[in-house]
Amino acid sequence: MRSARRRSREFALQGLYQWQFTGDTAAQVLKNLAEMDGFGEADHGFLEAELRGAIAEAPALTRQLEPLADRKWAEVSPVERSILLIGAWELVHKQEIPYRVTINEAIELGKRFGATDGHKWVNGVLDRLAATVRASEIAAPREPRAPRQGQRPKPSRKKVAR
């Protein structure tokens, strides 16, 4: 089962895809999304903020993304464009979400909805964007992760003198 945030990103992707072809307002896109199966499983506040933000800031986000890509924005598939807009908006505006989480979520969207290797390209573009908009977070040392519930901690790999 996918988390409410992942469902929100999936709906945001579908909404941005629709917006690219129809030019509908964010309000109309949200209204259309609300009629889809599984909409109740999404985090509606997050979805609305992400969709409205990505649409409103699409020109500015595109200006940041296009130089990091190896092709013109118009040559990027609508699915990958949508994923990049979502990822870029999160990297810029959702500092509380670790950049690795945002990029991983974009990769997962690419694997599920994009072209065969589109997720790899999206990963590269968002990595380059993160290096500029989240430079201090990237430079900070990583905290060790706590084991998930039900998992045992991994043994230390320190060498023992014999």
The domain spanning residue 20 has which CATH number? 1.10.940.10
Helix (H, G, I), strand (E, B) or coil at 93: helix
- In-domain check, residue 72: yes
Q: Is residue 155 part of a domain?
A: no
Total domain count, the chain:
1
- Residue 98: give the domain boundaries: 4-139
Q: Is the pLDDT of residue 158 over 80?
A: no
DSSP H stretches of helix in 34-152: 44-56, 58-65, 78-93, 99-113, 118-133, 135-139
pTM score:
0.85
Q: Do the domain assignments include residue 152?
A: no
Answer yes or no: is pLDDT of 8 > 80: yes
pLDDT at 162 over 90: no
160 is a domain residue: no
What is residue 151's predicted lDDT score, i.e. its pLDDT?
65
Closest CA to 139 of 130, 152, 149, 151: 130
Under the banding of pLDDT at 50, 70 and 90, the label for residue 21 is very high
Using DSSP's 3-state secondary structure scheme, residue 75 falls into helix
Element (H, E) at 33: helix 26-33
Is the pLDDT assigned to residue 68 strictly greater than 90? yes
Residue 162 lies in a domain: no
153: confidence class by pLDDT, cuts 50, 70, 90: low
Residue 69 lies in a domain: yes
Residue 150 within any structural domain of the chain: no
Specify if 149 maps to a domain: no
